[in-house]
Amino acid sequence: MAETAELNLPGGQSISLPIFEGTEHEKAFDIGKLRDATGYVTLDSGYKNTGATKSAITFLDGEEGILRYRGYPIEQLAEKSSFLEVAYLLIYGKLPTETELKDFSGHITKHTLVHEDIRKIFDGFPSATHPMAILSSLTCVLTGFYPDSLNPNQSTEEIDLTIVRLLAKMSTIAAWTYKNSVGHPLNYPRNDLDYCANFLYMMFSFPTEKYEVNPVIVSALNKLLILHADHEQNCSTSTVRLVGSANASLYGSVSAGINALWGPLHGGANQEVIEMLEAIERDGGDTSKFIAKAKDKNDPFRLMGFGHRVYKNFDPRAKIIKVAADEVLKALGLQDSPLLKIAQELEQAALTDQYFIDRKLYPNVDFYSGIIYKALGIPTEMFTVMFALGRLPGWIAQWKEMRENKEPIGRPRQIYVGETERDYVGIGERA
């Protein structure tokens, strides 16, 4: 017999709420019948205490700093897996066999080429357009090249092709967005390179010279993309699920998720972290001044890359990325990076400061990732695009799960606090 919680309301009314327990023993009151039975709704600004769904994709424990994709610890996947293998795991729920991975990777390779008309669309963007605006626009416009993808109820085979096309083409679009922004010739994808090597080739090669893929950079990029691949019901993933719940297409839902991720409080934080570190460097490297600003309630400045809605302990991804940052910078001879030194000083100062300790503010996934992206030669404005590239399999998996579970259209309630009924006043009688 499922446990219940008794809710006693004013006037002697009460209701028994069934308690749902997940596989990791998290518990929730099921309030599905609350309003019909009592007329009450719940209020929870920012959904800090509200579970929007039951999901089997990612488990995280913010107090213990645990993150697992389909049960596999992030530490093991970051060490042993590849981005496309993790993408398969998230989307299809299991680690692929060798044949399954070969077919999946092969299909993606074959679909990295984009329609020539995509090149023409680039010419229409103002030169100052942020790469995230281009990425969300072109992701949505894929529905124009593949109109069948507009039907979210495609057959399994058709959905699989729609998924492969998005995973493949977003990497090309992302690389072309960068090349277009610096006026370099666009590079066509190569079928002899794997996903990460191909992306780096499209980002950094020139027709005038032979591009040598650096295995250290390929390995670091694989790790970064794995670490960003999913994170349960974060802001952008919740956006993808909400938009998809209206029967919007996968491409349209992901395009909305890209715009949510762009927000500086969410995925846009990795760009903000580097800009903050560069501002500290320009200001002479005095981290204490910026710690004081972050603590000052009258100053809107926040220590970007610090704090998290769920993690009230170290973000396990930040720990892995911090080690990787040291390794990559050493391997590239950049171990004396002033930004890395400032980041390390800032982290130490914050972790020993009572304001941060009291609020359980620790470095999150964005704090060190920008330092690696910068070392890999990726420009700051492209950092959130890199986050989107990593998060894409998670968005796809979550959209697919929501569709397969036939979840209803998302439509939260509210409590109205505006004017009560009043009569119209003619324009001549208004104050």
Lookup: tokens for 347: 């982290």
Kindly tell me which residue out of 68, 223, 266, 322 binds ligand SDX, with binding defined by CB under 6 A: 266
How far apart CA 261 and CA 384 sit, in angstroms, is: 8
Nearest to ligand SDX of 204, 387 (CB atom): 387
Interacting residues of 10 by C-beta distance below 8 A, sequence separation 6+: none
What is the H or E stretch that residue 89 is in?
A: helix 83-92
Establish whether 308 is a catalytic residue: yes
Residue with tokens 């998809």: 244
Nearest to ligand SDX of 38, 53 (CB atom): 53
Q: Among 4-12, 32-40, 261-269, 401-409, which window interacts with ligand SDX (CB under 6 A)? A: 261-269
How far apart CA 64 and CA 177 sit, in angstroms, is: 38
Q: Please report, in angstroms and rounded to a whole number, the separation of the first and last CA atoms in the chain.
A: 63
Bridge partners, 58 (sequence order): 69
363 DSSP 8-state letter: B
How far apart CA 237 and CA 257 sit, in angstroms, is: 6
Angle between helix 215-227 and helix 383-404 axes, rounded to 10 deg: 50
Cβ atoms of residues 305 and 362 within 8 Å: no
Q: How far is the CB of 367 from ligand SDX (least distance, A)?
A: 7
- 238: closest CA among 261, 222, 218? 261
User: Which of the following is catalytic: 308, 315, 326, 336?
Assistant: 308
Q: How far is the CB of 200 from ligand SDX (least distance, A)?
A: 23
- 288: closest CA among 274, 270, 303? 303
Residues 166-225 touching ligand SDX, rule: CB under 6 A, are none
361 in contact with ligand SDX (CB under 6 A): yes
Nearest to ligand SDX of 308, 322 (CB atom): 308
Q: Among 19-27, 83-91, 165-173, 358-366, which window interacts with ligand SDX (CB under 6 A)? A: 358-366
192 DSSP 8-state letter: T
Nearest to ligand SDX of 115, 309 (CB atom): 309
366 in contact with ligand SDX (CB under 6 A): yes
269 in contact with ligand SDX (CB under 6 A): yes
How far apart CA 173 and CA 192 sit, in angstroms, is: 19
Q: Among 117-125, 140-148, 262-270, 319-327, which window interacts with ligand SDX (CB under 6 A)? A: 262-270
Contact track, ligand SDX, 273-312, x by CB under 6 A: ---------------------x-------xxxxxxxxx--
Residues 26-85 touching ligand SDX, rule: CB under 6 A, are 46
Query: E strands along 45-116, which residues?
Result: 58-61, 66-69, 72-73
Q: How far is the CB of 272 from ligand SDX (least distance, A)?
A: 7
**Which residue lies nearest ligand SDX, judged by its C-beta?**
307
How far apart CA 99 and CA 103 sit, in angstroms, is: 6
Nearest to ligand SDX of 139, 364 (CB atom): 364
Nearest to ligand SDX of 248, 291 (CB atom): 291
Q: How far is the CB of 287 from ligand SDX (least distance, A)?
A: 13
- 383: closest CA among 398, 368, 401? 368
Nearest to ligand SDX of 67, 375 (CB atom): 67
329 in contact with ligand SDX (CB under 6 A): no
List, by residue number, the catalytic residues. Answer: 308, 366
Binding residues for ligand SDX, rule: CB under 6 A, are 46, 231, 234, 265-267, 269, 294, 302-310, 359, 361, 364-366
